[in-house]
Amino acid sequence: MHGVALFIAVFLACAVEAVEATTIVLAAGTARDWRSALLGTGSGLATLAVIIGGFGPALSKLPIGGLRLFVGGLLLVFGLQWVRKAILRSSGYKALHDEDAIFQEELAQARKAKSGKRLGVHDWYAFTLSFKGVLLEGLEVAFIVLTFGTIQHQIGLASLAALAAVIIVVIAGFALRKPLARVPENTMKFIVGIMLTSFGIFWGAEGAGAKWPGKDASLPAIIAFMALVSWILVALLRRRHAARALVLAQAHVVEVTLADEIEEDETEILQSKTFRTSLKAFGDFWFDFLIGDDWRGTVGILLAFIATAMVNHSGAVSWWILPVAVSALLPMNLMRVTR
């Protein structure tokens, strides 16, 4: 993979996460207390640094084949989740991601929450809201940087891309003192989803023993393939959505657009007063991170890895199995959720 492709992929992915984290911190500071919000931000970054310090060296010691398989699988889970949501938004089945609306919602929730002082922190709610937002979004940034950089032996370049994205987003966010509503986040998520999925296919197949024709030169072809598949699915679903809207209109029925799938409330874990609820929310985050929103698709990916390894072991060409599997799993999920 060329250094430019690595830089662009990491930059865009980290920019998306930085926008979401900045929105949360801005809401906490604007509605509550800036000092507590910034203290929570700093604590989240410090905790993140400790996690990276322990996880990074361990990740670099894994065998390269196993690392590619592991990272490829996680990228496929992560990337396909973004691609599915982007396709649903582009076809009209899902509302566009509105960072300004999210900011207003966070702001309203922050203003309603009870204030309280704990452990020397003036506003515990503002502190914990910022801490959780920075930590959870930061974990995804760290994962992207460590995995991309370790596999390509370019940790420095990946870190530079992530740092540039975070700095630009944070400066813009705090300079405007409002969410980055003008950032085309839906488009960015679509592009990043396609790129992460493509990298997942490329590395996952290599980890399972497949040999790509042209080696790294195959990556642009995989990206183009995923873009084509996504474009076709958007066109088909858009036509299907329009036809259904016409039928409902003729029947004088008001169509209800497919609602956004229920996502974890950004403040749920923070407002909870019980350890059990907090632990469950944290577990839900990791389940979503490792398994994703489509467990059937995750199982399908694992089976595709196994099939790739078995076909490769028999001496036959196996690189094509994962792209075919992904191009089948993606529409299967979309058809299921849009029925």
pLDDT in tens, 157-169: 888 888 888 888 8
Residue with tokens 């792209």: 323
- Return the C-alpha torsion angle 130, 133, 136, 142, nearest 10: -80
Neighbouring residues of 245: CB distance < 8 A, sequence distance ≥ 6: 255
Residue 17 has pLDDT above 90, yes or no: no
pLDDT range class, residue 273, cuts 50, 70, 90: very low
Average pLDDT over every residue of 111-134 = 67
Q: What is the pLDDT at residue 177? A: 58
Locate 138 and state its tokens.
């930061």
pLDDT in tens, 38-88: 888 888 888 877 877 776 666 666 677 777 888 788 888 888 988 998 898
- Confidence class of residue 262 from pLDDT cuts 50, 70 and 90? very low
Residue 21 has a pLDDT of: 80
- The span from the first CA to the last CA of the chain, in angstroms, equals 39
